[in-house]
Amino acid sequence: MDFVHSHSAAKIALQLGHAGRRGSTRPRVQGLDRLLREGNWPLLSASPIPYTPISQAPRAMERSDMERVCEEFGRAAEMARAANFDMLQLNFAHGYLLASFVSPLTNQRSDEYGGDIEQRMRFPLEVFEAVRSAWPQDKPISVALSLSDGARGGLSMEDAVYVVKLLQERGCDMIEVLAGQTTIESELPYGRGFLTALSDQVRNKAGIPTMVGGYLTTSNEINTVIAAGRADLCILSSPHLIEQDNHADAPLDLHLAGNPADAQITPSSI
C-alpha cells in the first residue's frame, strides 16, 4: 500500500466477506464449489441449507455466532485501516454468508432474523455498522449486492431498493451491482452488459452511486453506460477471461472506469 501510494495516484479497495455455506471448498481453478478432499471445517449460514446437493450442510447461526462474526468483521476493518486501504467493500452477494440472510430463498428462519425483508436485514446491517464504525469516516465504503436472485421467489427489485436505502442511511457510499448465484437454480441472461439494467434501476430509484460490470469489455460500452447515467463506475472485463468462465463471481482482471468526481461518492473521492 505504501509503495502504491508513493508511486501513483491509484486507489485500492479491499473486499471483506464471509463464505458462509459456500466455504470449505477447493480453489476455483479446480472447480466451482467443490468440497475439499480432506480437512473440511464447519459452515455457518442463515439456515441449514447446503449450497448444492453435494455440498456440506451449514449450521444455522445462533446469536453468539452473530456477535463473534460482527467482531471479526470489525477487526478486519481495523486491519484494513492500519494497512491504509482507500476503500472498503462488504460482500452481500452471490450466496455467501451475508447474502444468505438477505434472500428469502436462503433465509428460512422463524426468529427475529427471518421473515420479511426488514428482519432478514437485521444481521447484515449489524455487520455493516460494525465495519462502518471501525472504518475512517473520511474514507468510502461500498457493498456488493445481488439485486436479483435470478430464481422464482427470490429478492424483488422493490426489496432490493429498500435494502440499498437501509445501507445508505447507515453510511454506505456506493453499491456494486451483482446478481444470481444465490442458489444453483439461479438463471440470468448472461451476456454483454447484463447487469446494466439493474444498475440503472437501483441507481436512479435509490439515488446512490453504482459500480457495474457484467462483461463490459470496451471503452465504448463503458462510455455509453456512464453517459446514459446508468452507473458511476464500470468494471472492465478481459474478453479471454469471459470465454474461460461465463459464470464466475467476478472477472479476475478488473479496471475501474468512469469519472469518480461525477459519481459524488462521499465522503471522499476515489
| Three cell numbers, residue 87 | 476503500
In three-state secondary structure terms, 90 is: strand
pLDDT of residue 250: 43
pLDDT of residue 270: 35
82-140 pLDDT, tens digit per residue, is 999 999 999 999 999 999 999 999 999 999 999 999 999 999 999 999 999 999 999 99
**The CATH classification of domain 2-30+41-212, taken from the options 3.20.20.70, 3.10.20.30, 3.40.440.10, 3.40.50.300:** 3.20.20.70
pLDDT of residue 262: 44
pLDDT of residue 239: 61
Active site residue 51: no
223-268 pLDDT, tens digit per residue, is 888 998 999 988 887 664 555 554 444 433 344 455 444 444 433 3
Give the torsion sign (CA, 171, 176, 177, 180).
negative
Q: What mean pLDDT is predicted for residues 13-37?
A: 91
Cα–Cα distance, 52 to 167 (Å, whole number)? 30
Ordered DSSP codes for 4-32: HHHH-S---EEEE---GGG-SB--GGG-T
Mean of per-residue pLDDT scores for the chain: 87
Q: What mean pLDDT is predicted for residues 216-220?
A: 84
Q: Which is the catalytic residue, given 51, 96, 113, 215?
A: 96
Bridge partners (DSSP) of residue 256 are 235
Closest Cα to residue 90, out of 48, 47, 36, 131?
A: 131
Cα–Cα distance, 17 to 128 (Å, whole number)? 11
pLDDT of residue 223: 87
Cα–Cα distance, 270 to 264 (Å, whole number)? 9
At 230, the amino acid letter reads: R
Task: Indicate if the pLDDT at residue 219 is higher than 90.
Answer: no
pLDDT of residue 47: 97
Cα–Cα distance, 1 to 158 (Å, whole number)? 39
Q: How many CA atoms lie within 13 A of 49 on its CB side?
A: 18
Residue 208's pLDDT band, with cuts at 50, 70 and 90, is very high
pLDDT of residue 109: 96
- First CA to last CA distance, the chain: 15
In three-state secondary structure terms, 51 is: coil
| Three cell numbers, residue 148 | 436479483
Bridge partners (DSSP) of residue 144 are 91, 176
Cα–Cα distance, 127 to 25 (Å, whole number)? 24
At 89, the amino acid letter reads: Q
54-91 pLDDT, tens digit per residue, is 899 999 999 999 999 999 999 999 999 999 999 999 99
Task: Indicate if the pLDDT at residue 27 is higher than 80.
Answer: yes
144-197 pLDDT, tens digit per residue, is 999 999 899 998 999 999 999 999 999 999 999 999 989 888 888 787 888 989
Q: Where are the domains of the chain?
A: 2-30+41-212
pLDDT of residue 248: 46
**C-alpha to C-alpha distances, 257 to 50, 212, 213, 223, 261, nearest whole angstrom:** 37, 10, 10, 9, 12
